[in-house]
């Protein structure tokens, strides 16, 4: 399914396994854009809206007997609402959206790691969002063992999965980076925070430039 939607925004998603540095890098990317006169919308999945945050709580800290199908449908439900009420309107206003996780996460976690079927989960989510794909996806690639060392706080429901689960997630992101080579930027997330951020800025620079020129905003 492909989207018939056209918008003048720039839709940037950040993907990767647990604790790979997404939140840290999104915050720094936001700073970089603000220095250039752009005020990006920062949002996340699951969550991003009041309803979405309630669903996030149910998904991440829900009962141990939540079955994979229920989990996958809750993710796609919050995603449909998030896109419809928050992200798409921003993209139609021509804004830059920095989003922490999107449908690739469902494909990797539920489709591959939970073995619900990569194609089925992709189709379910494309249906939920009317086929809208990001303009660019920053994949923060990190060995799950290294990511585990970075983790702080109590593990949530998905973080309690065995290490093999995180390895299946990583493998599926590699597959997605080949399937969607045009929009994927694979970033080595093993370095320090600054060096990872430099890689991200280099990867985004041409698209941001083009967006600013086309929309005649910021310091293009």
Give the interface with ligand ATP as residue ranges (CB under 6 A): 18-24, 150, 152, 192-193, 196
Q: Which is nearer to ligand ATP, 70 or 198 (CB)?
A: 198
Q: Which is nearer to ligand ATP, 123 or 164 (CB)?
A: 164
CB of 101 closer than 8 Å to CB of 22? yes
User: What is the b/e burial string over 179-207, where b = at least 16 CB atoms within 10 angstroms of the residue's CB?
Assistant: eeeebbbbbebeeeeeebbebbeebbeeb
Q: How far is the CB of 131 from ligand ATP (least distance, A)?
A: 26
CB of 95 closer than 8 Å to CB of 40? yes
Q: How far is the CB of 216 from ligand ATP (least distance, A)?
A: 33
Q: Which residue is associated with the tokens 């299946």?
A: 168
Q: How far is the CB of 3 from ligand ATP (least distance, A)?
A: 27
Q: How far is the CB of 193 from ligand ATP (least distance, A)?
A: 4
Taking each continuous run of H as one helix and of E as one strand, the counts in the chain are 9, 5
Q: Among 23, 31, 123, 195, indicate the residue that binds Mg ion (CB under 5 A).
A: 23
Q: Residue 52 binds which entry of ligand ATP, Mg ion, none, with Cβ cut-offs from 5 to 8 Å by kind? A: none
Q: Which is nearer to ligand ATP, 130 or 201 (CB)?
A: 201
Q: Which window, 6-14, 22-30, 170-178, 198-206, contacts Mg ion (CB under 5 A)? A: 22-30
- How far apart, in whole angstroms, are the C-alpha atoms of residue 118 and residue 189? 25
Q: How far is the CB of 101 from ligand ATP (least distance, A)?
A: 8
Q: Which is nearer to Mg ion, 101 or 168 (CB)?
A: 101
Q: Which window, 14-22, 139-147, 183-191, 193-201, contacts Mg ion (CB under 5 A)? A: 14-22
CA distances from 20 to 36, 149, 190 (A): 26, 10, 8
Q: Using the rule CB under 5 A, is 150 a contact of Mg ion?
A: no
35 exposure class (CB count in 10 Å sphere: 0-12, 13-18, 19+): exposed
Q: How far is the CB of 94 from ligand ATP (least distance, A)?
A: 27
Our CA angle for 119, 173, 165, nearest 5°, is 90
Structure tokens given for 136: 């660019």
Phi, psi of 97 (to 5 degrees): -110, 125
Q: Which residue is nearest to Mg ion (CB)?
A: 23
Q: Using the rule CB under 5 A, is 151 a contact of Mg ion?
A: no
Name the site residues for Mg ion (rule: CB under 5 A).
22-23
């Amino acid at each position: 399914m492909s989207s018939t939607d056209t918008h003048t925004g720039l839709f940037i998603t950040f993907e990767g396994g647990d604790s790979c540095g997404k939140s840290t890098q999104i915050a720094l990317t936001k700073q970089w854009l603000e220095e250039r006169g752009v005020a990006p919308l920062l949002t996340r999945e699951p969550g991003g809206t009041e309803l979405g945050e309630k669903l996030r709580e149910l998904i991440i800290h829900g009962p141990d007997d939540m079955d994979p199908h229920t989990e996958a449908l809750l993710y796609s439900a919050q995603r449909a609402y998030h896109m419809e009420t928050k992200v798409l309107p921003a993209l139609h206003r021509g804004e830059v959206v920095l989003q922490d996780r999107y449908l690739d996460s469902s494909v990797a976690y539920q489709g591959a790691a939970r073995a619900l079927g990569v194609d089925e989960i992709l189709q379910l989510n494309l249906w939920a969002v009317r086929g809208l794909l990001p303009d660019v996806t920053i994949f923060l690639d990190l060995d799950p063992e290294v990511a585990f060392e970075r983790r702080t706080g109590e593990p949530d429901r998905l973080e309690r999965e065995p290490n093999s689960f995180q390895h299946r997630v990583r493998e599926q992101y590699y597959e997605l980076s080949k399937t969607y080579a045009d929009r994927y930027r694979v970033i080595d997330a093993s370095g320090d925070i600054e060096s990872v951020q430099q890689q991200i800025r280099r990867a985004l620079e041409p698209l941001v430039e083009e967006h600013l020129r086309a929309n005649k905003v910021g310091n293009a």
